Amino acid sequence: MLRGVRGAIQVEANDATAIVIATEKLMLALIEANAIDKKQVSAVIFTVTPDLNATFPAEVRNKIHWEVVPFLCSQEIPVRNAMERIIRVLVLFETDLPQEKISHQYLGTTQKLRPDLKNDSS
């Protein structure tokens, strides 16, 4: 079954290195929490808040060895008073996990975005 898993992380600064490091942390958390095998991934979609433009989060593809997986980056709509420097991701992958067993990963301060989703990350 094709499932989607979501996650988010706040980046320290609009800096290419910081963006890639944060994206890698987020992706590794999703991969580990959901036992994601890159061979089962259909696509990865990233969004960033308008204040992040130093690089694409998709630059992480080589670091996690997902070179042939389709990645797409887009900008979030600029909602007034929204959290700043946020990377969000949606990974579409084949899994036998039921929807309620998917472990979304909202790391650090981004847990405020989805307090209804419990995870063990920090």
23-69, pLDDT tens digit by residue? Answer: 999 999 999 999 999 999 999 999 999 999 999 999 999 999 999 99
Q: Is residue 81 part of a domain?
A: yes
Per-residue pLDDT, 121:
46
Domain of 79?
A: 2-113
Q: Which of 51, 53, 57 is nearest to 21 (CA)?
A: 57
Residue 13 belongs to a domain: yes
From the candidates 12, 24, 59, 61, give the one annotated as an active-site residue: 61
Residue 11 belongs to a domain with what CATH number? 3.30.1330.40
In degrees, to the nearest 5, what angle opens at C-alpha 77 toward C-alphas 114 and 48? 70
Q: Is 73 a catalytic residue?
A: yes
Instruction: Please check whether residue 95 lies inside any domain of the structure.
Output: yes
Number of domains in the chain: 1
Asked whether residue 52 is domain-assigned, the answer is yes
Q: Which of 3, 12, 100, 106 is catalytic?
A: 106
Q: For residue 53, tell me if it sits in a domain.
A: yes
Which of these is catalytic: 3, 59, 67, 73? 73
Say whether pTM exceeds 0.95: no
Q: What are 71-116's pLDDT values in tens digits?
A: 999 999 999 999 999 999 999 999 999 999 999 999 999 999 998 8
Cβ-Cβ contacts under 8 Å for 13 (sequence gap 6 or more)? 85
Residue 119: band (very low, low, confident or very high) from pLDDT cuts 50, 70, 90: low
Q: Judge whether 3 counts as a catalytic residue.
A: no
User: Does the active-site annotation cover 88?
Assistant: yes
Question: Which of 24, 88, 94, 100 is the catalytic position?
Answer: 88
